[in-house]
Amino acid sequence: MRVYTCMRAPAGSFEACQTCACSALRRASRAVTQHYEKHFRGSGLRATQFTILATLTQTGPLSISDLSDQLGLDRTTLSRNLRLIEDRGWITALGHDDQRVRKMTLTSKGMKKASAALALWRRADASVEPILRRFGLRSRPMVRAN
């Protein structure tokens, strides 16, 4: 016969977790992502995909490693996202002397998609402040293009 008892740590042991920076930032990140996703709804583009397209418009072709570093994403997550937007014809891999290196670049279709979504991003970015404040954060000052 086996007897199992439920052992619980005293609730007080975890009191400090209420102010956990990691947990708070993850909640804030999800709320901000949902805000941007709401603005991109109907465009056929996700916020994560827009971030990749916007980065490539600014940097030009990048290897997956460099793009991963730029975006702060692990290569597995980035590769999954790249595959989706490559299948849609928004990016393509450039030929490279070293077969181990894949440099990704925006296609003309991808540039059109990013340009069309820029207005959606601007609306989302201009209205994100209340969500950030809810989590005790604030955005950087708005930079206006001439």
Least confident residue range of 53-57, 81-85, 95-99, 119-123: 95-99
**pLDDT of res. 16:** 81
Give, in order, the Cα–Cα distances in Å from 91 to each of 85, 114, 117.
6, 11, 15
Q: Report the predicted TM-score, pTM, of the whole model to 2 decimal places.
A: 0.80
Is the pLDDT assigned to residue 35 strictly greater than 80?
yes
Give, in order, the Cα–Cα distances in Å from 59 to each of 12, 25, 66, 85, 127.
49, 28, 10, 17, 26
**pLDDT of res. 144:** 56
**pLDDT of res. 58:** 96
15: confidence class by pLDDT, cuts 50, 70, 90: confident
Full DSSP string of the chain? ----------GGGGGGGGG-HHHHHHHHHHHHHHHHHHHHTTTT--HHHHHHHHHHHHH-SEEHHHHHHHHT--HHHHHHHHHHHHHTTSEEEEP-SSTT--EEEE-HHHHHHHHHHHHHHHHHHHT-HHHHHHTT--PPPPPPP-
Is the pLDDT assigned to residue 119 strictly greater than 90?
yes
